[in-house]
Amino acid sequence: MDLFEYQGKQYFARFGIPVSPGGVADTVDEAVAQADAAGYPVVVKAQVQVGGRGKAGGIKLANDADEVRLHAGNILGMDIKGHTVERLWIENASDIEEEYYASFTLDRAAKQHLLMLSAEGGVEIEEVAVTNPDAIVKLHVNPVDGLSVETARQAAIDAKIPERALDGVASILVKLYDCFTAGDCDLAEINPLILKPTGEVHALDAKVSLDSNAAFRHPEWEEYSAIEVLDDRERMAKDRDLQYIGLDGTVGIIANGAGLAMSTLDVVNQVGGSAANFLDIGGGANADVMAAALDVINHDEKVKSIFINIFGGITRGEEVAKGIVEALSRVALRAPIVIRLDGTNAEEGREILAAAGIPPEQLISKPTMLDAAREAVAIAGGN
């Protein structure tokens, strides 16, 4: 679950990370009121979950109420890379001496947390990685040991953070790590992390992605779910408790298990296709779950073929087959299905599908994942 900037800053504040005073506004009048409360000059910032707000005109400095009114009126309703601005964050403007970058995420391959720190902030970290990769310090943190102030300070030294900012940066890194771990984040990023002329170090932006699997520990996250930005496909999938992420390709993907689903996306890409989604129906999926999954994918107009990749362990082949038959009886699928069905009760599943009288052009069975991927991509026109 990705948070808006203002939500991320509010989340940071819970862990003692210094952020600019400000408030949320949905109208021009509210923007003026928030600016009056924060103190001029202020920055009027579009709240959309996409980069490039400044270049698009979504971030403006205002010295008085009239300028706030002008900028808020121009930014509300603005389209930024397909995202409509419906909310603003108004904060007291900060004097900036230097800008840094700091983030924590999980390095799954190393099975450790990963700190990335750079003295070159204020730009996308991907750009820094290309133009000056040595400017990024990467430090693995063992979850058992955690991050000490001493280790954080050494990382800041390694990143060539100036002496006058070392203590402030180290302090914020420890707090950011606490936010990342205790706050159950997938990503906690500050860009830029600024040094003020007064010597204070301060989070000027916030990018926070929460681990939805930890929601049971955080009833307070309900407020975020209420305004979570989802496209129609993702909203439908969430309503049906499906693990779904919308993508931009033409091959709809259904698999049982996150690992198999990821592998399926990779294979589709390897044979020249592009996935329209990630959809994991889980290890114990039954007919109802399969029918719901097909219904969601059917609402994606970009989908030209549907690749169902099932390797049965807990999931039983006959239940998968029943779900497909049930879905086809309820929904007129726009795209043909290519299925690879293997594992527990796979033969029974194939018999159910064969007896259902489904036209061969609507349902194609292949013996291996690679064969099925090639067929699905060919139907979708990607190879």
- Residue 28 belongs to what H/E stretch? helix 28-38
Distant-in-sequence, close-in-space partners of 130: CB < 8 Å, separation ≥ 6? none
Tell me the CATH architecture of domain 21-92: 2-Layer Sandwich (3.30)
Q: Within 13 Å and on the Cβ side, how many CA atoms surround 43?
A: 18
Give the three-class secondary structure for 115. strand
Q: In the chain, which segments carry CATH 3.30.1490.20?
A: 21-92
Total-model pTM? 0.67
CB-CB contact of 339 with 372 (8 Å): yes
d(CA 288, CA 327): 9
Q: Which CATH class is domain 98-221?
A: alpha beta
Question: 195-207: per-residue pLDDT in tens?
Answer: 999 999 999 999 9
Question: 266-292: per-residue pLDDT in tens?
Answer: 999 999 999 999 998 876 666 788 888
Rg for the chain, CA atoms, rounded: 25
- Residue 169 belongs to what H/E stretch? helix 163-182
Q: In the chain, which segments carry CATH 3.40.50.261?
A: 232-380
CB-CB contact of 260 with 311 (8 Å): yes
Q: Tens-of-pLDDT digits for all 383 residues of the chain?
A: 889 999 999 999 999 999 999 999 999 999 999 999 999 999 999 999 887 888 899 999 999 999 999 999 999 999 998 889 999 999 999 999 999 999 999 998 889 999 999 998 877 787 877 888 888 999 999 999 999 999 999 999 999 999 999 999 999 999 999 999 999 999 999 999 999 999 999 999 999 999 988 888 988 887 776 555 556 677 777 777 788 888 889 999 999 888 889 999 999 999 999 999 999 887 666 678 888 888 899 888 899 999 999 887 777 888 888 888 888 887 788 899 999 998 888 899 989 998 988 888 889 999 899 999 999 999 998 65
Distances (CA, A) of 316 to 241, 285, 289, 358, 373: 20, 8, 12, 20, 21
Catalytic residue positions? 101, 189
Q: Taking each helix axis as running N to C, give the angle between helix 232-239 and helix 287-298, from 0 to 180 degrees, rounded to the nearest 10.
A: 170
Q: In the chain, which segments carry CATH 3.30.470.20?
A: 98-221
What 8-state DSSP symbol labels residue 383? -
CATH topology of domain 232-380: Rossmann fold (3.40.50)
pLDDT of residue 90: 97
- Strand partners for 194: 99, 202
Please tell me whether the peptide bond between 41 and the residue prior to it is cis, using omega within 30 degrees of 0.
yes
